[in-house]
Amino acid sequence: MPQVTYFAPAGVPPSSQGEVYLLIEELESLRLKDVEKLEQEECAKRMHISRPTFHRLLELAREKVADALIHGKAIRVSGGNFAMDTNRFRCDNDGHEWEVPFETMKQQPPLVCPACQSPHIFPVEPGLMGCNRGRGRGRHRNGRW
């Protein structure tokens, strides 16, 4: 989830500016393609969507951001169709594996194995704070965005 969800142009009174709504999945498409510099195929794979769907999300996100920049509008990031991953951990001491919901990871990542209390634990899929790459996984009507 983004830490900052509202951007406003400096020097423009809030009452006179319009707002552009950027969905979480649109922001994620910008992050993967324009910040991470990944190919569209890899971006789509990470978001669990088809490449054409990813392309549509990216184009829509870029249009919204361009509109906000050119016309002095604020950008509000919210909403969308997505679900957060769970994070799987393994204990090096006893081999115990368990899942931690994203919301729990954000508040307090696990420090010890819940079965044997060993501090020798590691994420099964390493990533940001042990998350499954710290990103949302899309869900829509047919299991896709």
Expressed as residue numbers, the domain containing 116 is 83-138
Q: Which amino acid is at 95?
A: G
- At 82 the pLDDT is 55
Same domain, 24 and 68: yes
Same domain, 110 and 126: yes
> Total structural domains in the chain?
2
Contact between 123 and 134 under an 8 Å Cβ cutoff? The reply is no
The answer to whether residue 104 sits within a structural domain is yes
The answer to whether residue 28 sits within a structural domain is yes
- Percent residues over pLDDT 90 in the chain: 54
- At 131 the pLDDT is 33
**Residue 52: band (very low, low, confident or very high) from pLDDT cuts 50, 70, 90:** very high
The answer to whether residue 112 sits within a structural domain is yes
pLDDT above 90: residue 133: no
User: Among the three residues 41, 63, 80, which one is the final residue of a domain in this structure?
Assistant: 80
Backbone angles phi, psi at 98, to 5 degrees: -155, 160
Sign of CA dihedral 64, 65, 66, 68: positive
- Mean pLDDT (whole number) for 10-25: 86
Contact between 16 and 106 under an 8 Å Cβ cutoff? The reply is no
Over the stretch 70-94, which tens digit does the pLDDT of each residue have?
Answer: 999 999 998 765 555 567 888 999 9
